[in-house]
Chain A
């Protein structure tokens, strides 16, 4: 059971949250300008790193805010991401 540091509610159990994927997956501003390959990459591919990944978490059973954390996928160590650095 991870302990997720919600920037609004403080540290809470993982069960209150949804892990919502890699934060660097950003919807292209003009999807039609994307090649098929780039579009498929956006839709389906992940970096899926072994190590630190910046990801979105959703405090669905709490304040319902979406926020980013840096999480190590090997140690599960979590570092909060400052609002300003996004």
Chain B
């Protein structure tokens, strides 16, 4: 294996064993999977997406496009970059997207068919027949790793953090900025992607203030972390920059062992982006072969992991940074065959470095091919004197540097192309985002540190005074090669495959083809060729695509522009995005004091709106839903039922103008409601459509208690509060939501009074306690408000009680009612009871055009009032006339017919037809009381069609029915008033 005896940060005392593609290897603590593979001379780590070409490791960081693995150990995770996977004992990983193996992949046949698969080929064929047929095969071939099948065992959390300034990146410039900012007393948060601070100094030697750069950074970090005003996180990646300076970051492997990842919502006043830059590949035929690597990456593997990917290297470059590696390579024992430089001349420093390392340099040269399919054997290149070859087993190339402007762009910042550094750098700024150092296109360390100090001082508009300035002195650097680059593009019509997007297999030829077909926008080229759309999202390749397009179009790169940088910067697990809102914590269910009792007594629970869970019905052993509902409904009609009405919304309105407010809110009047009485009210939306209904009581002259539907409670509250605070600010009314203060239980049925009579009470239940009266008093010593309200059409008492006493009273009532057969009733049953009574439910009969007159509720609309919400729109409806749908009753000829909600209503004698649609069933049930199927529906011109026949046409069933008035039971309401 190729591992240096000394150097790197790996712990040679702690060997780790791992398996890759079924073979066992050994690495060390401190390795990544990539470095360990490299040290084991594993060259082919994966296959490309389209042509299944063999691929090796290209980079040393999160931008890696080739080395994607499925981590089989630790919960089966797809598409991890081997460069980011810390090595662990027993780790097991496989290459993705190859079969049967990365070394021998049958789909590599695609390589030979490549001429048939130019960019966008699928748009041009497979039109015949159905795409489903072809896509089945294509989908199998696509995709990378496989999705885990088991529940993710990981635990996650989300936290919020506020800070004056967030520094992203703990490389030298980020640390320098943090030092200055911390000194100023601001709250500073520093987050860094790597396990330890240092940024690129972790991999490269450079002196800062006469000490090794990495030590300077570590020392500063240690000092900063101790300060009260500094929060410091390693292993934390800033993934997106959102509105109002909110940065989302993911902390990997937090200190808490039970936690897999933590998502940070960081709200900062200013954000310093010191994320550095990544190296850009050069474009040449065969630049994807295993053994062709980015120069900086190779230096990193050597410095950090003592892993050496080759014995004999050819370096290919257009810029100065490659020269800084010569010593490193040499010290690692790599024989440097030569530097092929695209540029015409070198700087003195570059020449000096080359001659110091005794490395031959060929200027004005370009690589024309790489020999070897699954391992590099050599390169052919062209210089002024012709074509030559060099033998080697490693090609290191560097096409310059891409500043990581992702966060800056997420914030809304613009980028511009900088000729001198041949890179897109931050331009016009947005929000509080400031880029420094490599992320700002400042590739000199010394310059970067200076920039860091300046920006840090400038951030809060403060001048550094003398006392602080000593601490803020800009550090002095040594040992740098100043950055020089010449942008040189390959000639048009390049022979051989030269890749610009490695993972998606996009070549220079694809880019040319797209432009030839008149895809001129960079976004079009991206979408047509898929360049930049792979999991690395074009981090290393996009600038090359832009450069090629600009050349094809003969336009400046700035005017070609970049594609949009879409978050996240690096992929984020869905687990951590979901945080801890799992299981019962996702939309926690609301309960009533009776919920446990209900469940203990066998209730089938259902969502009741506003996140309440409520009994649907109470099945006894062996009962079907229909049986249970029939039993419960019959109990209410013939003896007694009890119903938990706590989820209903309850609002207290108090103040001298409350009566006026209610007059404006409801279609009917409330100013003339006597104290001690309640009244049913109907609320409309301003567009005249049904909104909500409920009973409102007048508690005293200026105090009312309003109830409304469970699901509508939030909307009704918002509606009233809006009117009071924004429209009718002159009205003196307090609105208080007291829904959570009261519990409500409804005792209903002919025996209801008898049940209550058994309880000791100071409330007289004599006939003077009329329908819609309410009385305050006690039941068995418990203070209650008792009201004669009926949602079932039977004699009914609504018991309102403080929540803490509710369950006690409920059980008292159940015990008291036993001899009368008191029966707990669920919401499905109350639905049946309301259909029998023809009580309109805005949620059912309310439609996009239904108004109260259509719903047969004209009796409650007082058009003589000067104004109420919805009145103007009702006037419009009346004025415009036209066909309307009315609420009707429907009695199927077949008394046992199954009628589904939503069934269409068609004219009698008409077969199923598109033109015949006349309305639909809004609610249907089998009435246990009437022993037949009944339904409510909306029917065109229904009020004048009582007695007519229509066809109820449902999915399963179609049946003739007679139109009737929409009240099937006790039309005069004598029972509930009784």
- Contact pattern, B 864-894, Cβ under 8 Å of A = 1, otherwise 0: 0001000111011001100000000000000
Cβ of A3 to closest chain B Cβ, rounded Å: 4
A39 contacts B265, C-beta separation under 8 Å: no
| Distance (whole angstroms) from the CB of A62 to the closest CB of chain B | 13
Stretch at the interface among B95-103, B238-246, B632-640: B238-246
Rounded to whole angstroms, the CA-CA distance of A43 and B412 in the bound complex is 35
Provide the B410-436 mask, 1 if CB < 8 A to any CB of A, else 0: 001000000000000000001000000
Assess the B875–A32 pair: CB atoms within 8 A.
Answer: yes
Q: Tell me which of B111-119, B506-514, B719-727 binds A.
A: B719-727
A31 with B867: in contact, given A1-B246, A75-B412 (CB under 8 Å)? yes
A76 surroundings in chain B (CB, below 8 A): 243-244
Query: A1-22, CB under 8 A of B: which get 1 and which 0?
Result: 1110000000001000010100
8 A Cβ contacts from B147-190 to A? 160
Q: Determine whether the beta carbon of A66 is less than 8 Å from that of B871.
A: no
Does A32 lie within 8 Å of B872, measured CB to CB? yes
Q: Which of chain B's residues have a CB closer than 8 A to the CB of A36?
A: 876, 879-880
Interface members, chain A 16-65 (any B CB < 8 Å): 18, 20, 26-27, 30-32, 34, 36, 39, 43-44, 56, 58, 60, 64-65
Distance (Å) between the CB of B397 and the closest chain A CB? 41
Instruction: List the B side residues contacting A64 at CB < 8 Å.
Output: 721
* Secondary structure type dominating chain A contacts: mixed
B390 at the interface (CB under 8 A from A): no
Whether A39 and B430, one on each chain, are in contact in the complex, defined by CB atoms closer than 8 angstroms, is: no
Tell me the minimal C-beta distance from B466 to chain A in angstroms: 35
Q: Which residues of B contact A44 (CB under 8 A)?
A: 687
Consensus secondary structure, chain B interface: helix
**Chain A minimum-CB-distance residue to B726:** A66
Q: Give, as a whole number of angstroms, the nearest-CB distance from A78 to chain B.
A: 8
B862 part of interface (Cβ distance < 8 Å): no
- B-contacting residues, A62-86, CB 8 Å: 64-66, 75-76, 78
By a CB distance below 8 angstroms, the chain B residues around A75 are: 412, 430
- Which of A1, A18, A34 has the most chain B CB within a 10 Å cutoff? A1
Contact present for B872 and A56 (CB under 8 Å): no
Chain A residues with CB under 8 A of B725: 65-66
Q: Is the CB of B875 within 8 A of A58?
A: no
**A3 CB contact (under 8 Å) in B244, B721, B871:** B244
B686 beta carbon closer than 8 Å to chain A: yes
Residues of A within 8 A of B242 (CB): 1
> What chain A residues lie within 8 Å of B867 (beta carbons)?
30-32
CB nearest to B688 among chain A residues: A43
Return A75 CB to nearest CB of chain B, in Å: 7
User: What residue of chain A has the Cβ atom nearest to residue B876's Cβ?
Assistant: A36
Asked whether any CB of chain A lies closer than 8 Å to the CB of B718, the reply is yes
**B895 to A: closest C-beta gap in Å:** 44
How many residues from B make CB contacts under 8 Å with A? 25
Residues of chain B within 8 A (CB-CB) of A27 are 686, 727
Structural contact, A43 and B718, CB atoms closer than 8 A: no
Q: Kindly state the separation between the CA atoms of A8 and B308 in the bound complex, as whole angstroms.
A: 63
Distance from B691 Cβ to chain A, minimum over Cβ atoms (Å): 14
Q: B267: CB under 8 A from chain A?
A: yes
Query: Do the beta carbons of B722 and A1 come within 8 Å of each other?
Result: no
Assess whether B243 is in contact with A34, with CB atoms less than 8 Å apart: no
Contact A66 B412, beta carbon cutoff 8 Å: no
Give A27's nearest chain B residue, CB to CB: B727
Contact (Cβ within 8 A) A60 B876: no
CB–CB B722/A58 < 8 A: yes
Instruction: Give the residue name and chain of the B residue nearest to A29 (CB).
Output: B867
Closest A residue to B737 using CB positions: A64
Q: CA A18 – CA B726 in complex, angstroms?
A: 14
Residue pair B873, A66 in contact (C-beta under 8 Å): no
In angstroms, Cα B430 to Cα A32, docked, is 48
B267 and A60 form a contact (CB under 8 A) = no
B243 in contact with A1 (CB, 8 Å): yes
Find out whether the CB atom of A2 lies under 8 angstroms from the CB atom of B243.
Answer: yes
A20 touches B873 (CB 8 A): no
B window 201-250: CB within 8 A of A: 242-244, 246
Beta-carbon contacts under 8 Å, B719-770 to A? 721-722, 725-727
B242, B726, B873, B875: most-surrounded residue (chain A CB, <10 A): B726
**Are the CB atoms of A2 and B244 closer together than 8 Å?**
yes
- Give Cα distance in the complex from A36 to B875, angstroms: 10
- B817: min CB distance to chain A, Å: 40
C-alpha spacing A24/B895, complex, angstroms: 56
- Inter-subunit contact A34/B872 (CB<8 Å): yes
CA distance in complex: A27, B725 (Å) = 13
Q: Looking at the complex, which one of A26, A31, A43, A65 makes contact with B871 (CB distance below 8 Å)?
A: A31
> Once the chains bind, are A20 and B244 in contact (CB under 8 Å)?
no
How far does the alpha carbon of A56 sit from the alpha carbon of B726 in the complex, in Å? 9
> Does B718 contact A60, Cβ atoms closer than 8 Å?
yes
Alpha-carbon separation in the docked complex, A18 to B718 (Å): 10
Q: Which residues of B contact A65 (CB under 8 A)?
A: 725
Q: Note all chain A residues with C-beta closer than 8 A to B726.
A: 20, 56, 66
A18 to chain B, nearest CB (A): 7
CA distance A56 to B875 in the complex (A): 29
Most chain B beta-carbon neighbours within 10 Å: one of A31, A32, A44, A58: A31
Which one of A2, A20, A39, A66 lies within 8 Å of B876 (CB-CB)? A39
Query: Whole-angstrom distance between the alpha carbons of A3 and B244 in the complex?
Result: 6
Interface string of B234-277 (1 = CB under 8 A from A): 00000000111010000000000000000001010000000000
CB contacts (< 8 Å) of A26 on chain B: these are: 727
Residue numbers in B under 8 Å from A78 (CB-CB): 244
Known: A32-B875, A64-B721. A43 touches B244 (CB 8 A): no
CB of A20 within 8 A of CB of B243, answer no
CB-nearest residue of chain B relative to A32? Answer: B872
Proximity bits, B523-558, A CB within 8 Å = 1, else 0: 000000000000000000000000000000000000
Rounded to whole Å, the gap between the CB of A85 and the closest CB of chain B is 15
| A58, B246: Cβ atoms closer than 8 Å | no
Query: Which of A34, A64, A65 lies at the interface centre, i.e. has the most chain B CB atoms within 10 A of its CB?
Result: A64
Closest to B724 in A: A66
Contacting A43 at CB < 8 Å: which of B246, B722, B873?
Answer: B873
Distance in angstroms from A58 CB to nearest chain B CB is 7
Q: Which residues of A contact B879 (CB under 8 A)?
A: 36
Chain B min CB distance to A47 (Å): 17
In the bound assembly, the distance between CA atoms of A13 and B244 in angstroms comes to 10
B246 touches A66 (CB 8 A): no
Residues of A within 8 Å of B160, CB to CB, are 13
Cα distance, A30 to B871, chains bound together (Å): 11
Closest chain A CB from B672 CB (angstroms): 22
Contacts of A58 in B (CB 8 A): 718, 721-722
A18 to B687, CA, bound (A): 21
Alpha-carbon separation in the docked complex, A13 to B722 (Å): 21
Whether A39 contacts B243 by the Cβ 8 Å rule is no
In the complex, the answer to whether B872 meets A66 with C-beta atoms within 8 Å is: no
Taking the closest CB of chain A, its distance from the CB of B23, in whole angstroms, is: 47
Q: Give the shortest distance, in Å, between B405 (CB) and chain A (any CB).
A: 19
Provide the residues of chain A in CB contact with B265, threshold 8 Å: 1
CA distance A44 to B242 in the complex (A): 31
- Closest-by-CB residue of B relative to A68 is B726
Indicate with 1 or 0, residue by residue over B470-513, a CB within 8 angstroms of chain A CB atoms: 00000000000000000000000000000000000000000000
B412 to chain A, nearest CB (A): 7
Closest Cβ of chain A: how far from B529's Cβ, in Å? 31
Question: Which of B244, B246, B430, B876 gathers the greatest number of chain A CB atoms within 10 Å?
Answer: B244
Q: Is there contact, CB below 8 Å, between B686 and A43?
A: yes
- Name the residue in A13, A27, A75, A78 with the highest tally of chain B Cβ atoms < 10 Å from its Cβ: A27
- B873: chain A residues at CB < 8 Å are 39, 43
A56-B726, A64-B721, A65-B725 given; A39·B872 CB < 8 A = yes
Question: Ordered nearest first, which 10 A-B pairs have the shortest CB separation?
Answer: A31-B872, A66-B725, A3-B244, A76-B243, A1-B246, A27-B727, A2-B243, A66-B726, A43-B687, A2-B244
9 A-B pairs, CB-CB below 8 angstroms? A1-B244, A1-B265, A1-B267, A30-B867, A31-B872, A39-B876, A56-B722, A60-B718, A66-B721
- Additional A-B contact list (4), CB under 8 Å, known A1-B246, A66-B725: A18-B718, A34-B872, A36-B880, A66-B721
